[in-house]
Amino acid sequence: DTGVSQDPRHKITKRGQNVTFRCDPISEHNRLYWYRQTLGQGPEFLTYFQNEAQLEKSRLLSDRFSAERPKGSFSTLEIQRTEQGDSAMYLCASSTGYQPQHFGDGTRLSIL
Amino acid sequence: AQSVTQPDIHITVSEGASLELRCNYSYGATPYLFWYVQSPGQGLQLLLKYFSGDTLVQGIKGFEAEFKRSQSSFNLRKPSVHWSDAAEYFCAVGAAGTASKLTFGTGTRLQVTL
């Protein structure tokens, strides 16, 4: 069990640029989740995959956000035309069956 | 809609003292309940979970929590706090029998004085 891996750990970009984050789940986990956490808040759900199928999306996920999990393994989260309000920690989690979600260390996004 | 309330934003305790962190949830059916801990700049680590059965659940690092359906609460306790327990603690609720999203509280920051 190597844990959930996220890359990069920290991303600094200018407003209006596109960014992409990667998440590698625990290898046997078929479910993968993305959350966003702003300062002083708990994580907020963004979207969820079972294998390669995206089964649920939050209304927080505007049309500038897109997530994929093309082969049911790793996932990417892309934000287009970044805005100041996108500054946050983006957390990925994975699970199998109905077992608890295991979280990665997150990608901290800073918008200049 | 499900929700979680953690009434205490910040708690300070002395090392060796007991600890109780409060969590109240709102959910229309049987919930799955979790406590996670987060150190600065890190992800969340699962402390314990409640799915069903015994309402007193034991977790890692000497933590325990008690599910009280009548009070819609799932408070976290530890009999003797160590300085290394200083962190942010999050309570979360999920839908029983599914594997979908978790809803988190806003967290309680624990400070431990020596």
Cα distance from B60 to chain A (closest Cα, Å)? 14
Cα distance from B70 to chain A (closest Cα, Å)? 24
Name the phi and psi angles at B85, rounded to 5: -80, -10
**Chain A partners of B105 at a C-beta cutoff of 8 Å?**
42
Contact between A104 and B43 under an 8 Å Cβ cutoff? The reply is yes
How high is the pLDDT of residue B52? 84
- pLDDT band for B101, please (50, 70, 90 cuts): confident
How many angstroms separate the CA atoms of A38 and B91, rounded?
A: 16
B5: helix, strand or coil: strand
Closest CA to A29 of A55, A2, A6: A2
Q: pLDDT tens digits for A67-103?
A: 999 988 999 999 999 999 999 999 999 998 778 899 9
Give mean pLDDT, residues A18-39.
95
Give mean pLDDT, residues B97-111.
88
Closest by Cβ to B99, choosing from A91, A95, A104 = A95
Q: pLDDT tens digits for B23-57?
A: 999 987 778 999 999 998 888 999 999 988 889 99
